[in-house]
Structure 1
Amino acid sequence: MVTMATKQCEKDMLQQVNQLWSMLDDMSESSPEAYQKFIRHHLREGMKQFTLPEPHTCFQTRILEFSEKLLYVNLCSWDRVPAPKSDSDPVPLFGGKMEEIVEGTDIYSITDIAYSPEVLKKGSEDPMERDQLIRLAMKYIEEQHCLRLSHSYTLVKDKLKGSNKQMKRRLTGRAGPAQTAKEMTSGESGASLLQQLTSLKSGDKENEENNPPIRLPSDIAHPKKPGLIEEISSTEFDIRNNVETPKYEILLIKDENEKAKTIQLKVELPGVSSVAECDLSVSKDDLVIDVPKKYRLQLDLPEAISEDNVTAKFNKKTCILSVGMPILNK
């Protein structure tokens, strides 16, 4: 019975492919401009399936389990990951496998997240947008790998941790576009290819511009397994739910010999009533202040500081957080 169903499916697909090529032949004669537009569009789309991910940005955070461990995340640019169709749509991403790396006495984990080149371009132009992409990636990693990550992160100078070959293996060693053979033949995922072509052929030029994109014929002949694109619900993880960057002032306090001794930071946090609302993370060369759903500030410090001697005070009356960071002796 399964064999009969399979043969029927193959027969239906073959019949649809034959009809498709017949309609393409008719279109090439009756509407050469629409035919050329169709071919050019799907040649471009088809080439995207053969592209490989490219490194863009790398950041470091920590896995908060029984013992903390460093996690490096490579944000990659990949043409196979689509950009959001509109500003109100969720941002698609694709996550790779996670690996544990041992280098001498150092043990850390590494994984990769791929976005559309268009999405990463916006992140390069806007630090707030970049921050939200990183936080979206961190949330995805927590959900996908059942981990709890630190809220703070540090951008790494190199745009890739590890090798290109390893990164591409982690990302490409998984399934293809999320569309099944049943959806392709039955039209469950929308108007069938033949219906779209019929509409394109019979409509005028104005209708041609408004028709939805048409699936590549090659997708019908070679159905892929689901899983290429992972989309996060816009109601929970939408990149545009931005938090505000608070106003701040940073000063270098010098001694009598004009040598920098302390970095003094003052941050205005209107609406914050207690220091308990603030998450302060300080490393040797950067600082992150996070007030969930209200404020976020990440700064690269002008001097290396002593992490163990940092002090912080919050004035409830003025809503100002003061952070003192002694500079390391050189």
Structure 2
Amino acid sequence: MDPSLLDSNLEDKDALFNQLLMNAAAEDPSILSALNKQAIPTTQVRPVPGFCLKTKTDKNEKVFVNICMADNVPAPKDISDEELIKLLESDDPTGYRVPMSIGEPHAEIDKSGQGCTAYDVVVSPAFMEKMKTSELFKTFFLTVMMEGLENKYEMLLSREWVILKNRRFVGTLQEQSVRTQSKPVIMEMDQSTSPSAGSQSQSQKSLIQEVSSSQEEMKSRGKEPDYRIVQEPAEGHPDFLVAEINLPQVKVSSSINLDLGEDRILVQTRSNIYYLDIYLPFYIVQTECGAQFNRKTRILTITMPVLPES
């Protein structure tokens, strides 16, 4: 479940994504160049300790996991215990994801003077509070987190873990690089450089799934715009998703504030005209996403490569 995992099909998926960008930038190659040169803003954060878990590998090596928190890590969607239980019992238990940052291993000495390995896993402060009040969420998180460690570092960990009572962390917590924002550059297009939604081929149109938007206006945030999601391929695990968001009252891209999480789209506009906050059914490759705003159709198009199945 660790979104950093890649498989042998990554080159094929990169090719599909690059082809999509090339089509969009056919008459202006500088668009693709600008997207590929996006800076990835990060900040160094020192995790704040929460609690510490002790376990061991299948080779009987002692492992400590420091569960920490930092404001830079986004909080997951706030759901109840009952909603989580329903998700876990459903056919798609992956519908709820907890953003986390898994740090590099660091060698430490335990209280008996023996060598051990420690890992720092960082979540949002809000989710740390959630785990304090819900044993269900804590168990769910620890199970997912253990799978993430195993996948990332190719090891097997015992599920007979122990949470330390008198120590909140072991060793020295390591600084981690966390993205300060997930904002792809929005390339502004006019009718001569960007294909409109109406110019799609019939095969592309068949891949578009209409998503009904709420008619309720949120005075403090703005109205939720109409949007639709394109999945390619249409069946099974997609290679990429494309979101088309209709913003008829927006004239220029500078009025749009776009944030992309690992499975989330957040769009806000100046003067609170529109507000869209939706979760995606798949993890996306945030660093490779692209966004374009067509001034003629007033449509914001977001292209999002999807992480391969773990």
**What range is the shorter-chain TM-score in?**
0.3 to 0.5
Instruction: Give the TM-score taking structure 2 as reference length.
Output: 0.44
Higher percent of residues as helix: 1
User: Which of structures 1 and 2 has the larger relative contact order (alpha carbons within 8 angstroms, sep 6+)?
Assistant: 2
Instruction: Give the TM-score taking structure 1 as reference length.
Output: 0.41
